[in-house]
Structure 1
Amino acid sequence: MAVNRGWQIYCRQQASKWALVLALLAKHVLVTESFSVTTDTPQVSVKEGAAADLHCQYSADFGLPRVEWKYFRADGSNWYVYYDGKITDSYKGRVDFSALALHFKKTVPADDGNYFCQVTGDGGSHAGEAKVTLVVQVPPDTPHASIPTSVTTGSEVTLRCMESVGQPPSTYKWLRNNLFMPEDPKSNQAYLNSSYTIDPKAGTLNFKSVSKSDSGEYACQAGNGVGTPKTSSPVVHMEVYDTNVGGIVAGVIVALLILAFIGIGLWFAYRKGYIGRNNKPKVIYSQPPPDEMDDGDFKQKSSFVV
């Protein structure tokens, strides 16, 4: 009898503990689910031109809430996509709204950015929002490569590669003589004498101290995992000289231009008579007075004035 009574007391104690645990769990669920807004698509990534669905779910305690979708660009500017129960003008015909999602029929690069599903209920006293990031994948354009044609041995030289169309942003590789250059020159026997660094994100190839062995034909390639990577064209031959050949050539050209201007100036001065012509004495002929002229005998008299 004592055993049964003890067992009953133990069971009651355990039941009380479990009841308390369940009550705490129920309270936690109610708190976390009360007026909550969530999404099961925190990031949506599609190729340019494809459809996209941005999901938004909210708890039942909102009742019949007001739902709005707002777009935020990377530069901070923002505007509504769905507002006051309708799609805004700039998205009409291309975007549809439902209670659980915002549907893009055909995405364009300008759609890339962050979207916020904003839910307001109970006369505005309760509100919540969920963020969805839309990534519109765009293949890269042909990159532009900035490569010098002649440099001096031992100088620091930076080659640059850039394209601005691809989404997500492109990363870059460099080619010399139609072969990809390793990011670490020490990892390849052919580049052990080079002292360069490659920044794949910035698209730069920097030589701290360029050497004769760095001469060659250079090009760069841009890729972002979307479509086919693009290579700059045409390739550019960079020659490394022991002396500043480029500076010498530029100096010769400047000297020739100066000589040409001097020649033109001298020719112009000569044509205007400022230089190069001898000043000859002017001869003025004067007619003698009538009384000095004999009748029937005309003699010309002249005087010279210098």
Structure 2
Amino acid sequence: MKMLALPLLIALFHSPVCLSVTVSSSKPKVEVHEHTDAVLSCEFRTEKDQSPRIEWKKRGKGVAFVYFDHKFSKSYTGRATIEGATLTIHSVTQKDSGEYRCEVTASGDHVNLGEATVTLNVLVPPHVPSCEVPSSVFMGSDLELLCKDKLSVPPATYRWYKDNKALTASADTAYSIDTNKGTLKFKSVSKVDTGMYRCESSNSVGAPKSCVAQQLKVVEYPLTMTILIAGAAGFLALVLFCCICVCVCRRRGCCKKGKKTKSTKSFSPPPPPPPPPIRNLKHYKQTQSFMI
């Protein structure tokens, strides 16, 4: 058995093995801070072709070339280098985030195409958020203050301050805070809500950033406005009262229109006129004589 196994092993070592190009990445997910270098690794092995064609593509709405025909595309010229098949992008920005594909083509291999995918995520520290705080608001009205930082990666969380004191919402407070959306909501503002308001955005990448504090004044309605509101409310109350009265009256039958009653007296025609006097005496006969 040993004598038979040795020739088989020798034959296997000397027999041609059909290999294909293989491509891999030692780090398929890369996270770097903005304005630093991003190294997208790509290692390959070929069967015969020692000078394969190497291409890098970025996938977005479509597929765009990064490296093709031994040169970089315009947007990467001067800020990217390649060593072997590993790509390095210098001073990356948020626009560089995305999915990259390394393709190696070895025309002499049995299977001549291999590829590996690397995802790049560029982390961006907080920016100064945009804050929307009205200068004044009427007492008793509802109010929403807005804060937004659209550039930070990962997305920022928010915190509101009044007169440089952090606001913390609870069941007892007259306001609510959404730390993910950056909103500060009041159900009914009062005089005590007057003050300087500012918002702060933060994430895990860099130091928090805050907008400039803005003055908010809670004012009472002017006298003329109060009179107009009171007059309008009184008018509406009067109209409502009249409508209720009409409805009650109709239900009780007080508002029904009287119907005309027909006369019970019967109609009697006038008596006929008397006959006319007899004027023709020719046919008159005297039946008796009168003697005196």
Deviation of 1:79 (Å): 1.7
Residues 156 and 58 of structure 1, relative CA distance in 2, 3 Å threshold: farther
Contact 1:51/1:104 (<8 A) preserved: yes
Larger Rg: 2
What SS is found at the alignment partner of 1:197?
strand
Deviation of 1:100 (Å): 3.5
Q: Does 1:66 align with 2:53?
A: yes
1:220-254: CA deviations, max 9, x gaps? 01223333211111333252x5x556x959x9xxx
* Among 98, 111, 134, the residue aligned to 2:96: 111
Residues 218 and 56 of structure 1, relative CA distance in 2, 3 Å threshold: same
Deviation of 1:55 (Å): 0.4
Residues 204 and 131 of structure 1, relative CA distance in 2, 3 Å threshold: farther
- Tell me the TM-score normalized by structure 2: 0.58
Paired with 1:118 and 1:236, the residues of 2 have a C-alpha distance of 58
Contact 1:149/1:238 (<8 A) preserved: yes
| Counterparts of residues 8-47 of structure 1 (less than 5 Å) | 36-47=22-33
1:237-286: CA deviations, max 9, x gaps? 252x5x556x959x9xxxxxxxxxxxxxxxxxxxxxxxxxxxxxxxxxxx
* Greater helix content: 1
Aligned residue in 1 for 2:269: none
Q: Does 1:210 align with 2:201?
A: no
Deviation of 1:218 (Å): 1.4
Paired with 1:157 and 1:123, the residues of 2 have a C-alpha distance of 71
Paired with 1:226 and 1:69, the residues of 2 have a C-alpha distance of 28
Aligned pairs, number: 206
Deviation of 1:94 (Å): 1.4
Query: RMSD value over aligned CA atoms?
Result: 3.4
Residues 144 and 234 of structure 1, relative CA distance in 2, 3 Å threshold: same
Contact 1:194/1:214 (<8 A) preserved: no
Paired with 1:82 and 1:226, the residues of 2 have a C-alpha distance of 30
Paired with 1:227 and 1:197, the residues of 2 have a C-alpha distance of 23
1:1-44: CA deviations, max 9, x gaps? xxxxxxxxxxxxxxxxxxxxxxxxxxxxx9xx975533222222
Residues 85 and 181 of structure 1, relative CA distance in 2, 3 Å threshold: same
Deviation of 1:173 (Å): 1.7
| Counterparts of residues 221-300 of structure 1 (less than 5 Å) | 221-239=200-218, 241=219, 244=221, 248=225
Deviation of 1:96 (Å): 0.8
Paired with 2:68 and 2:121, the residues of 1 have a C-alpha distance of 22
Aligned residue in 2 for 1:131: 117
Letter in 1 for 2:73: T
Percent identity between matched residues is 33
Q: Does 1:85 align with 2:63?
A: no
Residues 244 and 126 of structure 1, relative CA distance in 2, 3 Å threshold: farther
Contact 2:159/2:166 (<8 A) preserved: yes
Structure 1: stretches of 5+ with no match in the other structure: 1-29, 252-306
Contact 2:123/2:205 (<8 A) preserved: yes
Structure 2: stretches of 5+ with no match in the other structure: 1-16, 229-292
- Tell me the TM-score normalized by structure 1: 0.56
Deviation of 1:77 (Å): 4.7
